[in-house]
Structures are given as C-alpha cells and as structure tokens.
Amino acid sequence: MSLGVIGYSQRMARWEPDALGRLAVAALELFSERGYDETTVAEIAERAGLTKRTFFRYFADKREVLFMDGGGEFQRVIIEAVGAAPASASPLEAVAAGLEATGAFFEGRREFAIKRHNVIAANPELQERERMKLASLAEGIAEALRARGVTEPAATLAGEAGTSVFHVAFARWVSPDGGGDLVALIRESLGELRNVAA
C-alpha cells in the first residue's frame, strides 16, 4: 500500500484493488474536509467506492485508519536500523541510524503525513493515541539498544530521547513552513539535543 497516493477516481468499481489504500485516502480527505467527529464510516466507504462491510474488514473503527500501521512497519524500520548500526556506535549514534532510516519510509508521503498530523492535532482523543504510539516506539528503541548490550538507564533514556528527536523533526517537516528533507531535520534535531546535553 502506498500512503503517498492521494488522488483516485471516485468512479472505481468495488472490485478494484488497493481497498486499504483507498479507504485511508478517503478517510483522510473527509476528516480534513468535515472534521474527524463529523465523518462516518459509511461516508468513508462511499468516498472510496466500497461498502461499510469492506471497511470493517480492514479497520475496527474510523480511528484505526489514522493508525493503520499501528507502529508496525515504521517501528520495524527504526529498530532494524538501530540493531544494524556498527558495534562501535554509541547508544545515541545507534538511535540516530534508526531515525535516519525513516527517510525512505516517508518518501513520497509528506502530503498524507501533513493531513494526518492536522487531523490528529485537532482531536484530543487522537492525540492521546499518538502519544501511546510514540511511547511504544521509545520502548521498542530501548529494547533494541538492550539487545546491543546497552544497560539501564542508558537504553531507556536513549529511546526516549530518540523518540523526542523524531517527534520534533517530524513536526517541523509537516509544518506549513516546513518541508525539505526529513533526514536533515532529524540530524538538526539530534545536533540540538547534543548541544543541550553538552
């Protein structure tokens, strides 16, 4: 599924492929146009050219559309890169390698990411879910560091710091005056963290 594909034909037949991607795009468009609370599952399915039944094959509720990755693929990309960092890398250097690996994950997805970010920012319930996702990411990074032999509390501190760095860089990337290269923003944020800690 490509989250970067924002347009589609509303005349698509119900049998056409990529139902998951079409539902995600339709939901995000409707959330942006009408608001999250005002959008129904039936409207999402109709906009995607699908049925409510098809929607519920993929998602338990409309909130899940915004968290459909569930941290899975995104978190896996980071954790694998942390684990693959050179043995000589410090905990923060290993975390940096993990965060920089997200550049490829988000390539071509900025427009989708901006819309998703704006919908979440406007809804406290969704903000809480996003915080839970970030907490899960921090623990995943810490666990990857522990597997590299990093002891506590260093593993937890590096996981939390890395997640904060990503959060700050990502917010800059999706801001109205943002853009550019997400990896460059991650590196800048890491540099700022090092300056603060120095």
Domain locations in the chain as residue ranges: 19-66, 72-197
Banded pLDDT at 69 (limits 50, 70, 90): low
Question: Topology of 19-66 in CATH?
Answer: Arc Repressor Mutant, subunit A (1.10.10)
Task: Answer yes or no: is pLDDT of 167 > 60.
Answer: yes
Residue written as token pair 């800048």:
188
Percentage of the residues of the chain whose pLDDT score is greater than 70: 90
Please give the average per-residue pLDDT across 101-117, as a whole number. 90
Closest among 104, 67, 78, 105 to 159, alpha carbons compared: 78
- Chain centroid to CA 136: 12
109: which DSSP letter?
-
How much is the pLDDT for 172?
94
Distance CA 97, CA 89 (A): 9
Please give the average per-residue pLDDT across 98-103, as a whole number. 94
For the chain, helix, strand, coil in percent to 5 are: 70, 0, 30
Q: Among 65-79, 85-99, 169-183, where is mean pLDDT lowest?
A: 65-79
Distance CA 192, CA 1 (A): 35
Structure tokens at 164: 């904060």
Please give the average per-residue pLDDT across 166-176, as a whole number. 94
According to CATH, the superfamily of the domain at 72-197 is Tetracycline Repressor, domain 2 (1.10.357.10)
Q: What is the pTM of this model?
A: 0.82
The residues, any chain, with a CB within 8 Å of residue 107's CB and separated by 6 or more, are 4
Q: Among 18-22, 50-54, 142-146, where is mean pLDDT lowest?
A: 18-22
